[in-house]
Amino acid sequence: MRILSVVGARPQFIKAAALSTALRARGHTEFLVHTGQHYDAAMSDVFFQELGIPEPDSNLNAGSGRHGEMTGAMLAGIEKLCIEQKPDVVLVYGDTNSTLAGALAAAKLNIPVAHVEAGLRSFNREMPEEINRVVTDHVSTWLFCPSPVSAENLAREGITRGVHIVGDLMCDTLLRAAKIARDKPSIVSKMNLPERGFALATIHRASNTDDEKTLRGLLHALTHAGMPVVFPMHPRCRARVEAFGLQDSLAHPNLRVIDPVGYLEMVQFLAAAKCVLTDSGGLQKEAYWMHVPCVTLRDESEWTETVSSGWNHIAGTDPDKILSIIRNVSTPAAHPDFYGAGDAAERISRALAEG
Ligand code: UD1
Ligand code: UDP
C-alpha cells in the first residue's frame, strides 16, 4: 500500500518512530510529510535522530501563526503532495493542526484517511485539539483506537465501521526507548536530582499558558511542590512567561527550568521521578506505563483509564488543590494493560495490509 503519513508535532514524531518502521518492514511504501508545525531542533530533529525515524520526504515549514493560517498552509501543501504522490491512504496521528490538515486534504480528494489515536475525547470543545479530533474521526475510513473506551466514544457518535482497537503506539516507542535510555549516561544524576524524590513537570496547553493568572498559579504550584521539580519548558510556555513578565516566579531553588529534552532523557526522568505534573496527553500515559503517579493540570483527561485506576489525578489549575493532591499522591496496587502491550505498530500495519 502507498501511504502518505503526516507528522508535525512532538508527540507525532514519537508515534511515527514505532509505526514508520513497522509499515516499511511490512512492505508498505511510505511518503513521510513533516508539516513543520514544530521546528526547533529540541522539538523536532532530536526525535528523528534519537529514535531513528526516517528522514521526511517533504517539509512544509508551516509552523507558528494562528490556527487558520497554519492549518491552511498545511492543507494546501498536503493537497499538492497527495495529487503528486497518489497515495492509497493518508495516515494522520493524534489531534494537532497537522492531523486536521492531513485529514481534510485527503478527504476532499477522496483518498481514504487512517487516523491513529481515534476516538479520544475530552468533551471540551474549547480545546482546539477536540475540534481536530472530532473532525478527523468523522472523515476517516480507518480508525485506530488505543482502547475500548475510545471505540465506545466513536460508537456514541455513530462511527462503527473501520474501527480497530490496536493499543497505543506511544507504548511501543516507550518500551524500545526505555532499554536504550538505561544504557546512556543519566541526566538525573547529572542534574543531582534525588531518585524518587523529584517531580517532572510540563505545561503547554493554550488554556494554561495563554492566561496570565492561570500560568502564575501553575508556576506557584511547581515552586511549592515540596520537592525539586524539573521543568523542561515548551517554547509556547517560555514565550508566555516572558510576555507576562513572570520570570521572577521561576526563581526558586526547587524549580529546575531547562529547555525541552530529547525522548531518551525524558524516559530517564520518568524512570526516576516521584510524580509527574503535566497538562500533556502523552505524558499522562507514559507516567502510567512507568508506574509513576500523575497529577494532571487540567479539568479533564482523555485518558480516563489512567484516572479511574487511581494513577492519574485531575487537579485542574487551582494551586491549592494541586498542592494538596501532590502531598497525597500514592501508588495504587493494580496496574492493568489499558493500552495494549506495545504491539500497536504491528497491528496497524497488518490491518492496513489486510485492507
Ligand atoms: C501543539 C498542538 C497540541 C500538542 C502540542 C504538542 C495544535 C492546535 N496544538 O501545541 O495539540 O499537544 O503541539 O507539543 O495543533 N514554538 C516554537 N518552536 C517550535 C514549536 C513551537 O517556538 O518548535 C512556539 C511558537 O511560538 C508557536 C507556539 O510555540 O507559535 C505554539 O506552537 P503550536 O504548534 O501552534 O502549538 P503547541 O502549543 O506546540
Ligand atoms: N517530551 C519530550 N521532551 C520534553 C517534553 C515532552 O520528549 O521536553 C515527550 C513526552 O515524553 C511525550 C511527548 O513528548 O512522549 C508529549 O508531547 P507533548 O506533551 O508536547 O504533547 P501532547 O502529548 O500533550 O500532545
Please compute the mean of the pLDDT values over residues 217-243 and round it to a whole number: 98
> Which of 99, 42, 73 is closest to 235 using CA atoms?
42
**Residue 282 CA, ligand 1 centroid: distance in Å:** 14
| C-alpha distances in Å from residue 28, one per residue of 23, 223, 238, 281 | 5, 49, 40, 29
Query: Looking at the CA of 46, which ligand is closest?
Result: 2
Q: Are strands 255-258 and 163-165 parallel, antiparallel or unpaired?
A: unpaired
Ligand 1 atom nearest 132 alpha carbon: 8
Going by alpha carbons, the residue nearest to atom 34 of ligand 1 is 37
pLDDT of residue 144: 98
Q: Rg for the chain (alpha carbons), in Å? A: 20
Any idea where the domains of the chain sit in the sequence?
2-168+340-354, 177-328
pLDDT of residue 73: 98
Ligand 1 atom nearest 39 alpha carbon: 23
pLDDT of residue 90: 99
Give tens-digit pLDDT for 152-185. 999 999 999 999 999 999 999 999 999 999 999 9
CATH fold of 177-328 reads Rossmann fold (3.40.50)
pLDDT bucket at 37, cuts 50 / 70 / 90: very high
> Which of 256, 259, 269 is closest to 188 using CA atoms?
269
**Residue 24 CA, ligand 2 centroid: distance in Å:** 25
In the chain the first and final C-alpha atoms are separated, in Å, by 9
pLDDT of residue 254: 95
Q: Is the CB of 63 under 6 A from ligand 2?
A: no
Find cell 519548558 and name the residue.
233
Ligand 1, from 64, 104, 131: best to mutate by most atoms within 8 Å of Cβ? Answer: 64
Count of other CB atoms within 10 angstroms of residue 73: 19
CATH of domain 2-168+340-354: 3.40.50.2000
pLDDT bucket at 117, cuts 50 / 70 / 90: very high
Q: Which cell numbers in the block locate residue 59?
A: 517539509
Give tens-digit pLDDT for 11-35. 999 999 999 999 999 999 999 999 9
Q: Is the CB of 73 under 6 A from ligand 1?
A: no
Give tens-digit pLDDT for 289-346. 999 999 999 999 999 999 999 999 999 999 999 999 999 999 999 999 999 999 999 9
> Which of 205, 221, 231, 189 is closest to 302 using CA atoms?
205
Ligand 2 atom nearest 260 alpha carbon: 8
Contact assessment for residue 110 and residue 127, using Cβ atoms and an 8 Å cutoff: no
Contact assessment for residue 260 and residue 236, using Cβ atoms and an 8 Å cutoff: no
SS (H, E, C) 6-57: EECCHHHHHHHHHHHHHHHHCCCEEEEEECCCCCCCCCCHHHHHHHCCCCCC
With 0-12 / 13-18 / 19 or more C-beta atoms within 10 angstroms meaning exposed / middle / buried, residue 136 is: buried
> Which of 140, 136, 144, 139 is closest to 163 using CA atoms?
144
Length of the chain: 355
Query: Cα–Cα distance between 355 and 351 in angstroms, integer?
Result: 6
Give tens-digit pLDDT for 45-73. 999 999 999 999 999 999 999 999 999 99
At 82, the amino acid letter reads C
**Residue 37 CA, ligand 1 centroid: distance in Å:** 7
pLDDT of residue 122: 97
Q: Which cell numbers in the block locate residue 215?
A: 500560568
Active site residues: 204
**Residue 201 CA, ligand 2 centroid: distance in Å:** 11
Ligand 2 atom nearest 96 alpha carbon: 25
pLDDT of residue 238: 98
| C-alpha distances in Å from residue 173, one per residue of 6, 19, 184, 340 | 18, 9, 17, 12
Please name the helix (run of DSSP H) or strand (run of DSSP E) that holds residue 278, with its range, or none. strand 275-278
pLDDT of residue 6: 99
Q: Is the CB of 171 under 6 A from ligand 2?
A: no
- Spatial CB neighbours of 263, under 8 Å, sequence gap ≥ 6: 14, 17, 46, 47, 50, 51, 173, 177
- Spatial CB neighbours of 84, under 8 Å, sequence gap ≥ 6: none
pLDDT of residue 355: 85
pLDDT of residue 76: 98
Q: Do domains 2-168+340-354 and 177-328 have the same CATH topology?
A: yes
Please compute the mean of the pLDDT values over residues 82-101 and round it to a whole number: 98
pLDDT of residue 162: 98
Please name the helix (run of DSSP H) or strand (run of DSSP E) that holds residue 100, with its range, or none. helix 97-108
Q: Is the CB of 64 under 6 A from ligand 1?
A: yes
Q: Rounded to two decimals, what is the model's pTM?
A: 0.98
